[in-house]
Amino acid sequence: MIVDTHVHLDDVRYEEDLEAVLRRSVEAGVDRWIIPGADPETLPRAVELAQRHPGIFFAVGVHPYDAWNYDRKLLERYLGHEKCVAVGECGLDYYRLPEGEAAVAEEQRIQREVFLDQIALARAYGKPLIIHIREASRDAQELLEAHAGEEGGVLHCYNADHQLLRLAERNFYFGIGGVLTFKNARKLVEVYPRIPRERLLIETDGPYLTPHPYRGKRNEPAYCRIIAEKMAELSECSLEEITGTCRENTRRLFGI
């Protein structure tokens, strides 16, 4: 069985048929799901789903795009919940920055400040981190190496930056999703064999980043199997071996 370690089941695109999505997921061998806390407005929905479904867990966090709306007290309200397994999705994203040197500097300052506070929250509550990094690898790595605790975390949708592999030594895992199946994923395919197998996790990031051959359609956790098949191919092992390894990795990191 597989755990989808990053899927936005609280997204509006799952509202009408969530039970069918979960049923297809279980039929495909995916029986547990972690909802990352990317949007504070949908957090109550994530909590409600986790309370209703034994296999659903959630994290609390603020995505770097929402750093200006960071509310530490809101996150702390849910951090003690029995189904809360992590802090995140948090991190740095320099892909979409405002125009003007001063505005860029201020945006990056706010993102770093909010990221640091969520790292501190993770350490205070003994939770791992779910980390989003886009075009900000150097800054993110420096902050994690200097401030993250032994709880570690996962580099969600690992971006194939080989320098980030150093974080494997600090209890950080690497979330592998549908991008691995893309025809233009040459860099990730090349770097993938260098990731220690005991640091691999499977994720969809649904409803985003749908794997081949379903690109262009809504992603869903059942497609974890497609990702796992590609991982097994590149790892030169059986599907059962890679899914078993990733499930054990999930248990070690998130305790589920």
For residues 146 and 123, is the Cβ–Cβ distance under 8 A? no
For residues 135 and 181, is the Cβ–Cβ distance under 8 A? no
pLDDT, tens digit only, all 256 positions of the chain? 999 999 999 999 999 999 999 999 999 999 999 999 988 889 999 999 999 999 999 999 999 999 998 999 999 999 999 999 999 999 999 998 878 889 899 999 999 999 999 999 999 999 999 999 999 999 999 999 999 999 999 999 999 999 999 999 999 999 999 999 999 999 999 999 999 999 999 999 999 999 999 999 999 999 999 999 999 999 999 999 999 999 999 999 999 9
The string of DSSP letters for 128-186 reads -EEEEEES-HHHHHHHHHHH--TT-EEETT----GGGGGGGGGTEEEEE-GGGGSTT-H
Cα–chain center distance at 133: 10
Distance CA 248, CA 57 (A): 16
What is the CATH code of the structural domain delimited by 37-47+59-146?
A: 3.20.20.140
What pLDDT does 96 receive? 84
CATH class of 1-29+156-256: alpha beta
User: CA-CA distances (angstroms) from residue 194 to 190, 215, 243, 247?
Assistant: 8, 26, 18, 19
60 in helix, strand or coil? Answer: strand
Backbone phi and psi for residue 154, each to the nearest 5 degrees, phi listed first: -130, 135
The domains of the chain are located at: 1-29+156-256, 37-47+59-146
For residue 57, give the DSSP letter: E
What pLDDT does 186 receive? 95
What pLDDT does 41 receive? 87
Helices of type H across 32-136: 43-52, 72-79, 101-125
Distance CA 24, CA 26 (A): 6
Backbone phi and psi for residue 132, each to the nearest 5 degrees, phi listed first: -105, 125
The enclosing H or E element of 195 equals none
Distance CA 221, CA 207 (A): 9
Sequence-distant (6+) residues with CB within 8 A of 129 are 86, 87, 88, 90, 118, 119, 122, 144, 148, 151, 152, 153, 154
Q: Do domains 1-29+156-256 and 37-47+59-146 have the same CATH topology?
A: yes
What pLDDT does 185 receive? 94
